[in-house]
Amino acid sequence: MAFLARLGAPVRGFLAFLGDQAHLTLSTLRYALLLRMDQATVVGRQTRLQVRFTALDALWLVGGTALLLGAVTLIQAFSQLSGLGAENYIGVLMVLIILRELGPLLTAILVIGRSSTAIAAELGAMQLNGEVDALAAHGVNPYQYLLLPRWLGVLVAVFTLVVMFDAAALGGGFLVARLKYGVTFGFFMDSVRQTLSNRDFVATLLKVVVFSGAITFHACHFGLSIRRSQTEIPQAVTKTVVSALVAVFALDGLLAAIFYF
Partner 1 sequence: MIEIHDLALDAPDARRLFAGLDLVVPRGGNQLVTGPSGSGKSRLLKVVAGTEQPARGRVSVGGVAVWPGSGAFALMGKVRVGFAFATGGLLSNLSLWDNVALPLRFSGVPAEALQGRVDGALERLGLAAVAGLRPHAVSASARKHGNLARVLAYDPDLILLDDPIEGLDRSDRDVALGLIQEWALDPAKTLLMAQEQPDPFAQLASGQLDLQALSVPLETP
List 130, 194, 238, 246, residue binding partner 1 (CB under 8 A): 130
From 116, 70, 123, 59, select the one nearest 244 (Cα to Cα).
Answer: 116
List 15, 22, 23, 41, residue binding partner 1 (CB under 8 A): 41
Question: Quick one: which segment of 35-43, 62-70, 72-80, 102-110 binds partner 1 (CB under 8 A)?
Answer: 35-43
- Least distance from partner 1 to the Cβ atom of residue 58, Å: 20
Q: Does 26 bind partner 1 (CB under 8 A)?
A: no
In the window 2-21, what residues touch partner 1 (CB under 8 A)? Answer: none
Using CB under 8 A as the criterion, what x/- string covers residues 54-93 for binding partner 1? Answer: ----------------------------------------
Spatial separation of the C-alpha atoms in residues 35 and 144, rounded to whole Å: 7
Spatial separation of the C-alpha atoms in residues 244 and 179, rounded to whole Å: 39
List 2, 5, 11, 138, residue binding partner 1 (CB under 8 A): 138
Cβ atoms of residues 66 and 103 within 8 Å: yes
Phi-psi region of 50 (alpha: psi -120 to 50; beta: other; left: phi over 0): alpha
Instruction: Spell out the residues 6+ positions from residue 86 whose beta carbon is closer than 8 angstroms to its own.
Output: 77, 78, 181
Q: How many CB atoms are located within 10 Å of the residue 63 CB?
A: 18
- Least distance from partner 1 to the Cβ atom of residue 134, Å: 4
Question: Quick one: which segment of 37-45, 68-76, 80-88, 108-116 binds partner 1 (CB under 8 A)?
Answer: 37-45
Query: What's the Cα-to-Cα distance from 108 to each of 36, 60, 68, 125, 222, rounded to whole Å?
Result: 31, 15, 17, 24, 18
Spatial separation of the C-alpha atoms in residues 78 and 85, rounded to whole Å: 9
Q: Does 140 bind partner 1 (CB under 8 A)?
A: yes
Q: Does 33 bind partner 1 (CB under 8 A)?
A: no
Per CB under 8 A, residues contacting partner 1 are: 36, 38-39, 41-42, 122, 125-126, 129-131, 133-141, 145, 227-228
